[in-house]
Amino acid sequence: AWLEDEFVRDDYRLSLPDDIAPGAYRIAVGLYDVGTGRRLPVYDGRRHRLADDRLLLNLPVVVQP
């Protein structure tokens, strides 16, 4: 179990289509209980619960030759 105020870093590789257009994209991130499949509550840095228990992240995409 995580401790209160504990920071956990978990890196993931995201595969994108070869023909994706450059620009700003949004992805939603949530956590689930592995035993029940239920979504876990997600809070911001001020301890406010986030809508739909998910974190929305901006993902800039740059296409390189």
Max CA pair span of the chain: 44
Q: Which pTM does this prediction carry?
A: 0.64
**20 backbone dihedrals φ, ψ, rounded to 5°:** -65, 140
**Cβ of 21: how many Cβ atoms within 10 Å?**
8
- Nearest of 53, 50, 49, 58 to residue 27 by alpha carbon: 58
pLDDT digits (tens, 9 = 90+) for 20-30: 999 999 999 99
Residue 51 confidence (pLDDT): 92
* Inter-CA distances, 38 with 8, 22, 30, 34, 53, Å: 20, 34, 10, 8, 11
